């Protein structure tokens, strides 16, 4: 059966069916989100939104910023785990942290994070001897951690509170709970599957050995912690009334994030916002929109600016270092030429030329 599935996916890839299907899904999600967002934002008083932002307590913003920072700190372990999993243990944690932070913050804002984040990672890791295949494996394993964490959070959250997901997908709570339980069972089955023996995906140099059972549980834990911090940042910024509870906000937040990710729009712009407005319909729209704008500032814009600054300084330092090396090499060459023109060397050459 697995061989049949593998052949099916290979055929679909060869015919570019999966790529075309992905484009259709992305365009459809964005179109629906724009339609919903247009109707949700009709009648919004911009002045009230601005006033709600001004009235947000400094304590709330500081707490949200702290949770965002903790979330990005957790993201660094995505790369640390992936790099160690492919056997590249010589790369220090600071490089993993730089690659993870910059690739995710730039990928979140530019869109198509698989490609933009991969390009940033390659620029950083290639300086440490990694090639494009190594970076592709890192992206795959980091993405696996992300999806395992999302599956765990959604599975557990929706199983506990299926009504939260029903506000977005409009499905009956019992059906949402059934899907959530299937997700949990799928996760358990996956952990058992990779625990029994080493599992390899891909072929030739592109093959990747999947982490075993214990390491997969670590992956799931990293993903859950990352999403929990992000959801907490959003939770402290949304209106206090009505108090829906953290689980409800977290389920809606993760669902909205995944929809934004599926759309490939920069920062999930439009899609994420529409899903949040639909899911948290009980809250005051102006106050909710104010909290979402603050979250976007803290989670998307500020990390993006910091990443651009970090990468710019890195390129300047690498350029200056390369220039110094070239100058040192040039001076060494000149010194060698000067030594070749010394009186003793000239006398030796003349004796050699005279045949003595």
Average pLDDT, the chain: 81
Residue 36 maps to a domain: yes
Residue 312 maps to a domain: no
Residue 257 maps to a domain: yes
pLDDT tens profile 187-227: 999 999 999 988 888 888 888 889 998 999 999 999 999 99
The span from the CA of 3 to the CA of 9, in Å, is: 10
Residue 340 maps to a domain: no
Residue 327 maps to a domain: no
Neighbours of 172 (CB within 10 A): 12
What sign does the CA torsion over 325, 330, 335, 337 have?
positive
Residue 231 maps to a domain: yes
The residue range of the domain holding 231 is 2-302
Lowest mean pLDDT among 126-135, 210-219, 274-283, 285-294: 274-283
Q: Is 58 exposed, middle or buried (0-12, 13-18, 19+ CB in 10 A)?
A: exposed
pLDDT tens profile 72-114: 999 999 999 999 999 888 899 999 999 999 998 888 777 666 7
Q: Is the bond into 195 cis (omega within 30 degrees of 0)?
A: no
Residue 23 maps to a domain: yes
Q: Which of 2-6, 68-72, 153-157, 328-332 has the highest mean pLDDT?
A: 68-72
Percent of the chain scored above 70 by pLDDT? Answer: 78
Residue 89 maps to a domain: yes
- Express the helix, strand and coil content of the chain in percent, nearest 5 each: 85, 0, 15
Record the pTM.
Answer: 0.79
Higher pLDDT residue, 43 or 52?
Answer: 52
Domain count, the chain: 1
């Amino acid at each position: 059966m697995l061989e049949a599935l593998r052949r099916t996916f290979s055929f679909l890839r060869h015919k570019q069916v999966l790529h075309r299907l992905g484009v259709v899904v992305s365009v459809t999600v964005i179109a629906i989100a724009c339609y919903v967002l247009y109707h949700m934002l009709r009648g919004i008083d911009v002045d009230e939104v601005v006033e709600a932002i001004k009235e947000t307590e400094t304590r709330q913003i500081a707490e949200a910023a702290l949770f965002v920072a903790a979330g990005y700190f957790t993201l660094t372990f995505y790369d640390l785990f992936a790099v160690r999993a492919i056997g590249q243990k010589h790369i220090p944690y600071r490089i993993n942290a730089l690659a993870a932070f910059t690739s995710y913050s730039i990928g979140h804002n530019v869109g198509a994070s698989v490609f933009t984040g991969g390009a940033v990672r390659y620029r950083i890791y290639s300086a440490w001897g990694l090639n494009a295949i190594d970076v592709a494996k890192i992206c795959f394993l980091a993405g696996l951690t992300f999806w395992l964490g999302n599956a765990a959070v959604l599975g557990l959250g929706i199983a506990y509170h299926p009504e939260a997901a029903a506000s977005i997908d409009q499905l009956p709570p019992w059906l949402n709970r059934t899907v959530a339980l299937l997700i949990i069972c799928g996760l358990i089955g996956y952990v058992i599957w990779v625990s029994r023996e080493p599992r390899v995906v891909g072929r030739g140099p592109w093959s990747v050995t999947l982490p075993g059972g214990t390491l997969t549980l670590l992956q799931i834990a990293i993903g859950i912690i990352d999403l929990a911090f992000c959801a907490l940042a959003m939770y402290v910024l949304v209106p206090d009334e009505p108090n829906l509870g953290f689980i409800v906000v977290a389920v809606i937040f993760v669902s909205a994030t995944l929809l934004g990710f599926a759309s490939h729009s920069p920062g999930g712009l439009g899609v994420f916002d529409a899903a949040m407005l639909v899911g948290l319909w009980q809250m005051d729209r102006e106050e909710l929109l104010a909290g979402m704008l603050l979250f976007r500032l803290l989670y998307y814009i500020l990390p993006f600016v910091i990443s651009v600054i970090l990468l710019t300084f890195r390129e300047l330092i690498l350029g200056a270092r390369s220039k110094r090396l070239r100058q040192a090499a040039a001076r060494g060459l000149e010194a060698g030429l000067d030594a070749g023109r010394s009186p003793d060397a000239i006398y030796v050459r003349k004796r050699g030329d005279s045949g003595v």
